[in-house]
Structures are given as structure tokens and as C-alpha cells.
């Protein structure tokens, strides 16, 4: 049973992959198709979050702040 579910999941993932032709890339590069629609707003939000948490460094760095949750 587990093997059948695994094979079905792999087929779903592989089925979602598609090559993009050069003339189709203009549609994918539109602002509304981006994961982060406004990079400046995302940067401001991240800066506010890390200022409130009293931590330093980027979001990938561990530690910083007082260590409390």
C-alpha cells in the first residue's frame, strides 16, 4: 500500500514539470506571477519582524535575541 501511494505521489510531482518555451517566459515574469509580488514590501516586513524580535542577521541565521519564545 505504501509503495503504491509513493509511486502515485512521484507521478503527480513529475507530471507537474513542464518545459517553458522562450516566447512563454514573458507571462511568467509578470509581477502578479512572482512569489513575492513586492520585494521592497517583503524586505520592510522582514526588517520589522527582526527588529521586534531583537535578533540580528538574516532569516537563515540561527540564534540572536534573548532566546525566549
* pLDDT tens digit sequence for 13-66: 887 777 888 888 888 788 777 778 788 888 888 888 877 766 555 555 555 555
Alpha carbons 58 and 56: distance in angstroms, whole number: 7
Buried b (16+ CB within 10 A) or exposed e, 43-57: eeeeeeebeeeebee
Whether the model clears a pTM of 0.75, i.e. scores above it, the answer is no
Q: What is the model's pLDDT at position 5? A: 92
Q: What is the model's pLDDT at position 15? A: 75
Amino acid at each position: 500500500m505504501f509503495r503504491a501511494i509513493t509511486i502515485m505521489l512521484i507521478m503527480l510531482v513529475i507530471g507537474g514539470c513542464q518545459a517553458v518555451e522562450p516566447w512563454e517566459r514573458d507571462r511568467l515574469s509578470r509581477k502578479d506571477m512572482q512569489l513575492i509580488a513586492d520585494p521592497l514590501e517583503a524586505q520592510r516586513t522582514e526588517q520589522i519582524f527582526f527588529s521586534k524580535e531583537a535578533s540580528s542577521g538574516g532569516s537563515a541565521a540561527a540564534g540572536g535575541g534573548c532566546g525566549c519564545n
